[in-house]
Amino acid sequence: MRVGIVVYGDLGGTSGGFRYDRRLAAALRDAGHDVEPVELPWRSWGRALAHNLSPGVHRSLRGYDLLVVDELCHPSLAGVVGRADAPTVAVVHHLRSRERHPRPLRAAYRAVERRFLRAVDAALCVSEATRDDVRALASVPTAVGDCRGTAGDWTRWAH
């Protein structure tokens, strides 16, 4: 299966989220899948919303049997991911709307995250608490666990 793993910047980034995404990509490769990074440019949250209008972003999601999207990319994909030609699994480390922000900003984050999560086919959550947060926004199939232990389980969503 050809899998696109969608991240901001370079999959080689040094944060814990990038490390998790790299381990996930390795687990998928170990399971025999062809994994290709789809690296979107970093933008501020507000500017990233404009990616939803970009034909180039939509084209970058084509040609895969499965898309694995780091939920961090939600502002760039909230209006695009539902039109992808492959099933999409969001990898959710945490939700931005659960961070401390002024109420109006948090409401905007929540609305865009909700739209994104309602458009994906499933979510792989890093904890039960994150799963609860996802379920509060969208009714989407979820799995919880580390990327290696669950990769074989949730690829079934691609069929």
Domain residues of the chain, as ranges? 2-158
3-class secondary structure, 125: strand
Q: pTM for the complete prediction?
A: 0.87
State the alpha helices, DSSP H only, in the chain.
Answer: 16-30, 45-48, 55-60, 74-77, 103-119, 128-137, 147-154
Mean pLDDT of the chain: 86
Question: Token pair 């509060």 is at which residue?
Answer: 136
pLDDT band at residue 15, thresholds of 50, 70 and 90? low
**Class of the 2-158 domain?**
alpha beta
pLDDT at 145 over 50: yes
Q: Which amino acid is at 99?
A: E
pLDDT band at residue 130, thresholds of 50, 70 and 90? very high
User: If phi over 0 gives left and psi between -120 and 50 gives alpha, with beta otherwise, what is residue 87?
Assistant: beta
pLDDT at 126: 87
pLDDT in tens, 28-75: 999 999 999 999 998 899 999 999 998 999 999 999 999 999 998 999
pLDDT at 98: 87
Tell me what the mean pLDDT of segment 17-26 comes to.
81
Tell me what the mean pLDDT of segment 78-99 comes to.
91
Q: Which amino acid is at 61?
A: L
